[in-house]
Structure 1
């Protein structure tokens, strides 16, 4: 009997690990690919950076599981840095810099910002950050992150291209995948419901192959690699003051991302995150960011989007992420595995992630529980959220008149929204505007409700 239980447990963990593998891959593969093209790197260099990214992401997840924050959360290429690097590359001509100079300066920015975060962590800055990061700030952050991710994955799942057109056939398939994931998640009995995302990937991949054959997929990393490990592949580090300054700001913003992830995870696991867990998490993430910067990778961060994944799958076991991370390392080590996994249609992966991140919207809403909202206090949430979303929907070309070095920050709706809510929470006494119901009125209302229920029950009988 015990052997059967162990066998079932092992198989369940393995399936959950495969589900984590696809989550890790889908959230990682486009980062080195898009940055490599933005910097004009050769295909072999891009392939090598993708493999390094897979391997280091898998190792960092395992390190965090065992010695770091000890939650089943993905640590990988930080989204804040991803958007920042692409924005800086696009602004390079306006700054009078070549892509080679930008790449070399970014390497310095990666390393110096990570060193700054390590110093701040060791000096006790986390306590200041925790006081600043109230439930309202965290809720606004999660809402904006949900909108940003949903917008990105929605465009991917409908085949939206640069011409402003979308593929109706892909959109229809993506809608079908979302329905499949939702039905399995809601109606699935037992552990079957925990594998809704994996089921969506399998069903969607098969349906895509039947309807469209091969073609639209992530670019294979199995071809053209010129070797994996290269020290400073982006050139000798340079010190461009503007890029360094923006990088330091991005490092601080990335700290808030990790803090949000750990606070949300502590609620899911129903245990308090200790100061040691916070500190170890930041230290490991930024040590790997320094290593990654020297290897041509953007800094790492804890993915708040992992919360949506956990909410959807309900698989909180750390063993599942451990298994998925080991598989992900193997994918990076063996290019043939990378090539196979890269055949996953991007529209299928985007549709599944879109469905997963719907759960994060609920997590964001729940963080506002207990707050009192009225026509005055609603500004503390509505203003930063709506301004952040508005900036997200403005084309990057609209920011060309801004100072080039400020463009990456000012054009980032997530950053602007979070900065705005932090300012509002720390400089406005919202409790003065909260309309609170006196205790006598609350008791009177409760007594009236009870009497009404008794009267209703009596009339029915």
Structure 2
């Protein structure tokens, strides 16, 4: 994005599935599709819930004060920036960069350690050859790194559950276990099953993350709503 804004039409052509338009970068061609809009709203709600969980878990891990104000400010910033990003046709940002898994596994919660990494990513944006080189990293290597990161995430989640007594009874455990199973089943669902779904509902029904979040909402606020009293 930085390269495109500064270089304009001189930006290199990278392999992408997204086709451009003849309009300006800041004035993309607009269209309205109710199905895509509905799917987008559900997905964005799921992402907001994911952000709430990430911000709250990091706040609990580092015992940060004023979490209510921090959370509202973060959600407001993320919403506005994603609206702007959608208008210019780029991927929107999030307002958190550290996960509790990384914090607990490394013992470091400082934001200053991210400055060199952020500077390096901005530097890479001006040199597409560097991005191509990083994209050539073998998939097994990336898989091992992601496996380690996901393991630390899950371990930190278990630790926070024990510390805060977040699952005091069987119904609370079911609220976590059932959506997790739904998400896993959808993630390993055959491609033929996903292709047989209606195109309007496919982005929802074939997305394990979104369906898991919807299952959590149903379990907590509909099926086990009396358990919250």
Q: TM-score band (shorter)?
A: 0.7 to 0.9
1:237 aligns with 2:30: yes
Q: 2:110 aligns with which of 290, 313, 317?
A: 317
Distance 1:232 1:403, change over 3 A: farther
Distance 1:294 1:378, change over 3 A: closer
Relative contact order higher in (CA < 8 Å, ≥ 6 apart): 1
**Alignment partner, residue 383 of structure 1:** 178
CA-based RMSD: 3.1
Distance 1:273 1:413, change over 3 A: farther
Distance 1:298 1:335, change over 3 A: closer
Distance 1:333 1:294, change over 3 A: farther
**Alignment partner, residue 197 of structure 2:** 402
CA distance in 2 between counterparts of 1:319 and 1:294 reads: 31
**Alignment partner, residue 351 of structure 1:** 144
**Alignment partner, residue 44 of structure 2:** 251
1:425 aligns with 2:201: no
- TM-score, length basis structure 1: 0.41
Q: 1:366 aligns with which of 156, 159, 173?
A: 159
Q: Aligned-pair distance for 1:288?
A: 2.9
CA distance in 2 between counterparts of 1:421 and 1:343 reads: 38
CA distance in 1 between counterparts of 2:185 and 2:96 reads: 23
**Alignment partner, residue 266 of structure 1:** 59
Q: Which stretches in structure 2 are left out of the alignment for 5+ residues?
A: 1-10
CA distance in 1 between counterparts of 2:161 and 2:108 reads: 25
1:289 aligns with 2:89: no
Largest Rg, 1 or 2: 1
Q: Aligned-pair distance for 1:257?
A: 1.2
| DSSP-derived class of the 2:179 partner | helix
1:49-60 superposed matches below 5 A: none
Deviations 1:337-360 (A, max 9, x none): 434444433331321221122111
Distance 1:377 1:245, change over 3 A: closer
1:62-81 superposed matches below 5 A: none
Q: Aligned-pair distance for 1:44?
A: 4.7
Q: Aligned-pair distance for 1:336?
A: 4.5
Residues matched between the structures, number: 212
CA distance in 1 between counterparts of 2:70 and 2:179 reads: 30
- TM-score, length basis structure 2: 0.76
1:169-184 superposed matches below 5 A: none
Q: 2:125 aligns with which of 302, 316, 332?
A: 332
Q: Aligned-pair distance for 1:287?
A: 3.1
CA distance in 2 between counterparts of 1:340 and 1:407 reads: 34
CA distance in 2 between counterparts of 1:340 and 1:401 reads: 37
